A and B are shown apart, each in its own frame.
Chain A
């Protein structure tokens, strides 16, 4: 257990830039762009002789019907989700390259011989890297994303406050910031399960490749997808190529990106839905997210991911580093 703690620290030390600074800097740039947008909007409004303070947002909202209020609330929630997702996309790229290098970089610079001179099993080493990719980094990313989103809302609130409008009250009473945060944390087990096949595939390539793990990791699934398409065209083989791209290519490369868990089953839940403003709140609720797990596909993919990690561990154990 103690060894695992140090292995996780080790991963963090090595990748502090990607795990910690990338989401913070990404969020910071996002906020800066928002601020510039607000200032530009303010200047434009000033040129057009529009006074922002003329619109009494709070009293306007209070006078509106329930649907319009819900729309506003959805807007607040959606802002939080999309901002956190934006940071999540940055983290997705960080994780992609982290997984590709996890079992490759130390072979390339031969420092694997140093790690192997210590009483740490290859199994524990691989497990520590998987925990890093599935738990540690997503948690940091989520925290950074939520802080960015809250700062963004605060920025908007302060902007309105300068004009004598209390937007904070409206955001809190019509939006659902706390439920939004809880939903995002609550969805972590689902996102982890969906990320598992991607992490497994990338780390397998990382453990196996003699060079250029990126090309192998991307080339094999995409090449296979193209071959499936060609076979389908030429011989009319009954391979359902749409599901190949969706279930094999996508799951092996993009499971670590935000929203990767949204499959057809998820969207089919909203086919007959028509409740206007309630939309976002209804879409992003934990019971609908967890409904994704009713399908066997994510489970099968995750099991294959675990199998690939087992193979990666064996490759690491016996690979002769010359």
Chain B
């Protein structure tokens, strides 16, 4: 199930970076009696774009905060081989994050923000930042409080993407933005920022928008990672087939993970690892295809709010 588990976390690649960027074992976080993280295990390998996807209250943000050393937790957690609880200061040299939109201080000017990040961050490139900003309406003397929400995000993204971080964590980076901004952002992220030495971890509710840039998926539910797989694994493991009324019963016999109605036909989604069926049997029912992340998500999370 978990492709990344196969790689040894202690194994170092030639570029002297751990092959596993994040490693969690029995990661637990209690808020009172509520278990925001329930002893979960996961690994994030280097050079991937991972989507951490889950319903509200599943523990996404808590997991990110633990990785970023913002909260205490129980269990074992290593980010770039370091313990985020005790080695946060060292860790932040290599890790960057956008925790929420519009968290830039309202009093700061564009010029001051660039100067400050350049002053304190050894991996910041003023040149790159100014390149990103050249495509915006932002001017050096503009204050954050004068900006629209979209402009604040543009500035924040320009600052963060000009940092050559090994791990970039984005928690709902495009929340509240219009579709033009969102598309542009993911395009920049993939084409200009990302390279094989970097790892990006994204949480979002807008699954459809990130689907095409992700290399890995992690589904989280009730404080546990319930699915962790590469997109290739997903297409090998899950299959969707559209069947007519006549074939519904035989399709149901193969124990689909989920069933939904489209244009009077039934769409069956199979987990080939768990159902009795094999790909050939399913192909006989009708035309097959790899399910979209959103459909897979809905199928996996069924009953969450019940």
Binds A, one of B45-53, B97-105, B232-240, B264-272: B97-105
Nearest-CB distance from A122 to chain B (Å)?
A: 8
B107 interfacial by beta-carbon distance below 8 Å:
yes
Flag if A119 contacts B100 (CB, 8 Å): no
Flag if B119 contacts A6 (CB, 8 Å): yes
Nearest-CB distance from B69 to chain A (Å)?
A: 9
B182 interfacial by beta-carbon distance below 8 Å:
no
Quick one: given A2-B119, A13-B108, A114-B156, are A119 and B103 in contact (CB under 8 Å)?
no
A-side contacts of B100, CB under 8 Å = 110, 113
B301 interfacial by beta-carbon distance below 8 Å:
no
Contact indicator per residue, chain A 288-322, by CB within 8 Å of chain B (1) or not (0): 00000000000000000000000000000110110
Which residue of chain B is the closest to A3 with respect to CB atoms?
B120
A234 interfacial by beta-carbon distance below 8 Å:
no
Choose among A10, A13, A113, A118 the residue that contacts B92 (Cβ–Cβ < 8 A): A118
Flag if A9 contacts B105 (CB, 8 Å): no
Flag if A320 contacts B103 (CB, 8 Å): no
Inter-chain CB contacts under 8 Å: number:
71
Within 8 A of B (CB), among A106-157: 106, 109-114, 116-121
Contact indicator per residue, chain A 1-40, by CB within 8 Å of chain B (1) or not (0): 0110111011001100000000000000000000000000
Nearest-CB distance from B160 to chain A (Å)?
A: 7
B93 interfacial by beta-carbon distance below 8 Å:
yes
Flag if B112 contacts A13 (CB, 8 Å): yes
Flag if B116 contacts A10 (CB, 8 Å): yes
Flag if A117 contacts B92 (CB, 8 Å): yes
Within 8 A of A (CB), among B46-93: 65, 68, 70-72, 88-89, 92-93
Flag if B89 contacts A121 (CB, 8 Å): yes
B-side contacts of A320, CB under 8 Å = 65, 70-71
Flag if A14 contacts B105 (CB, 8 Å): yes
Choose among B70, B93, B105 the residue that contacts A109 (Cβ–Cβ < 8 A): B105
Nearest-CB distance from B49 to chain A (Å)?
A: 19
Flag if B117 contacts A119 (CB, 8 Å): no
B-side contacts of A7, CB under 8 Å = 120
Quick one: given A2-B119, A114-B105, A318-B71, are A119 and B112 in contact (CB under 8 Å)?
no
Flag if A119 contacts B72 (CB, 8 Å): no
Within 8 A of A (CB), among B1-19: none
Bound-state Cα–Cα, A99 to B116, Å: 21
Quick one: given A121-B89, A318-B71, A318-B72, are A13 and B107 in contact (CB under 8 Å)?
yes
Choose among B103, B109, B112 the residue that contacts A111 (Cβ–Cβ < 8 A): B103
Flag if A119 contacts B119 (CB, 8 Å): no
Bound-state Cα–Cα, A318 to B72, Å: 7
Flag if A3 contacts B119 (CB, 8 Å): yes
Flag if A119 contacts B104 (CB, 8 Å): no
Bound-state Cα–Cα, A75 to B103, Å: 53
Bound-state Cα–Cα, A112 to B70, Å: 11
Flag if A118 contacts B65 (CB, 8 Å): no
Nearest-CB distance from A108 to chain B (Å)?
A: 11
B-side contacts of A118, CB under 8 Å = 92, 117, 120-121
Bound-state Cα–Cα, A117 to B120, Å: 11
Which residue of chain A is the closest to B61 with respect to CB atoms?
A322
B149 interfacial by beta-carbon distance below 8 Å:
no
Choose among B99, B108, B121 the residue that contacts A119 (Cβ–Cβ < 8 A): B121
Flag if B105 contacts A119 (CB, 8 Å): no
Within 8 A of A (CB), among B143-183: 156, 160
Which residue of chain B is the closest to A105 with respect to CB atoms?
B105
Flag if B93 contacts A9 (CB, 8 Å): no
Bound-state Cα–Cα, A114 to B71, Å: 16
Within 8 A of A (CB), among B87-138: 88-89, 92-93, 96-100, 103-109, 112, 115-117, 119-122
Flag if B71 contacts A119 (CB, 8 Å): no
Nearest-CB distance from A180 to chain B (Å)?
A: 36
Quick one: given A2-B119, A118-B121, A320-B71, are A111 and B65 in contact (CB under 8 Å)?
no
A-side contacts of B107, CB under 8 Å = 13-14
Q: Which of A106, A113, A120, A318 has the most CB of B within 10 A?
A: A113
A-side contacts of B89, CB under 8 Å = 119, 121
Flag if B112 contacts A116 (CB, 8 Å): no
A-side contacts of B68, CB under 8 Å = 116-117
Quick one: given A6-B119, A10-B116, are A117 and B106 in contact (CB under 8 Å)?
no
Flag if B160 contacts A117 (CB, 8 Å): yes
Which residue of chain A is the closest to B95 with respect to CB atoms?
A117
Quick one: given A13-B107, A111-B105, A113-B103, are A119 and B120 in contact (CB under 8 Å)?
yes
Choose among A13, A120, A317 the residue that contacts B120 (Cβ–Cβ < 8 A): A120
Which residue of chain A is the closest to B144 with respect to CB atoms?
A111
Bound-state Cα–Cα, A320 to B120, Å: 24
Interface residues of A (CB under 8 A from B): 2-3, 5-7, 9-10, 13-14, 106, 109-114, 116-121, 317-318, 320-321
Complex A-B: 28 CB contacts under 8 Å: A2-B120, A3-B120, A6-B116, A6-B120, A9-B115, A9-B119, A13-B107, A13-B108, A13-B109, A13-B112, A106-B105, A109-B103, A111-B103, A111-B106, A114-B103, A114-B104, A114-B156, A116-B68, A116-B92, A118-B117, A119-B120, A119-B121, A121-B88, A318-B71, A318-B72, A320-B65, A320-B70, A320-B71
Interface residues of B (CB under 8 A from A): 65, 68, 70-72, 88-89, 92-93, 96-100, 103-109, 112, 115-117, 119-122, 156, 160
Task: Identify the 3 closest CB pairs spanning chains A and B, nearest first.
Answer: A6-B119, A111-B105, A113-B99
* Beyond known contacts A119-B92, A320-B65: 7 more, CB 8 A cutoff: A13-B108, A13-B112, A14-B107, A106-B105, A113-B99, A114-B103, A121-B88
